[in-house]
Amino acid sequence: MSFPADRLSPLGRRPFAFGILGAAAAMAASPSRAAEAGYPDRTITITVPFAPAGATDLAGRLLADRMGPALGPQGRVVVENKPGAGSALGAEHVRRSKPDGYNLLVGSASTLGVAPSAQPKVAPYNPAEDFTPIAVIGTSALGVVVPTASGITSVEQLVARLREGKGREGYASSGVGGISHLASSLFSKLADAPATHIPYRGGASVPEALIKQEVLFAFDQIASVVGQIRDGALRLLAVTTTTRDRSFPDVPTLQEAGVPGYELSTWTVMVGPKDLPPGITATLNQAANTALKDENVRRRLSDSGTDPRDDSTPESTRAFLAAEFARFKAAVDIAEMRMD
């Protein structure tokens, strides 16, 4: 077959070449567009990087239950717990997954803030850049708790006891490199109150260790110890945020209690692997926000100490993660908690 000379000239053959390239591009793009249009067509798995029964696990299961119907007739969402490496194991599993919308992560400040700040070799990721942010689920304060039997009734008394002990007194955490570890270490530095870190295996062991007076204090999510606080076994001395907790309005913030500059909160966020298609990201964001508007979901999150959010966008979630990552890196530096 022959072509007219003008079709073979550098200028003359451009329409022909562009036509072929355009058709090829359309063919290459069409599977992605088709996948977005038909999403979801199979089960979506939410990875929770902690053992069952914690606050992050609860958030993941509540969203899984309500997001399914919001995603349409093929919408089915299940939760898989994948703890390990300070919650980085589950995060890495999702980060390395195919970006097709069928593997998601519901992670916490420990997973996406503390771990990559304190242990970058174990958690070698930037939460805002190496994942696709989908939605902010909620935020919550931590509380400073002591055994009631200790006789300590204020942060001032706790600091005095720690200074007197010169590092002999211990604090509990749910594991090395997590939010409770950082919160306590930061307090120790800012208050000039030396203490020894005693990590426990999982958050459920912390209240028991306090009640047995194996340790003097701990920073924990308020919902995890609210039962022991209300029955008098533990005492809540202060909260870590800059505003008081609605459930305990008479309990001061740490700044009010005499620790200037102390501000820390934990949170729960949904992300997917990097390069998740925009259409799928938008679909998941809408489904998550729909779930977070459900009154039962909101009540149960609130009961667990989480202030639910239902208005985040992928863009605002990315900005949130970037700001929190910077905040946690600064906190880790102040606490001198970098571990690799």
Residue 172, helix vs strand vs coil: strand
pTM of the model: 0.84
DSSP state of 253: B
DSSP state of 196: E
Query: Rounded CA gap, 133 and 227, in Å?
Result: 34
Any idea which of 6-20, 43-57, 239-253 has the lowest mean pLDDT? Answer: 6-20
Phi, psi of 221 (to 5 degrees): -60, 135
pLDDT (tens digit per residue) in 95-144: 999 999 999 999 999 999 999 999 999 999 999 999 999 999 999 999 99
Average pLDDT over residues 308-327: 97
Phi, psi of 331 (to 5 degrees): -65, -40
Query: Rounded CA gap, 299 and 297, in Å?
Result: 5
Residue 231 buriedness (CB in 10 A; 0-12 / 13-18 / 19+): exposed
Query: Rounded CA gap, 108 and 55, in Å?
Result: 9
Domains in the chain, start-ordered, CATH in brackets?
A: 44-140+266-335 (3.40.190.150), 142-239 (3.40.190.10)
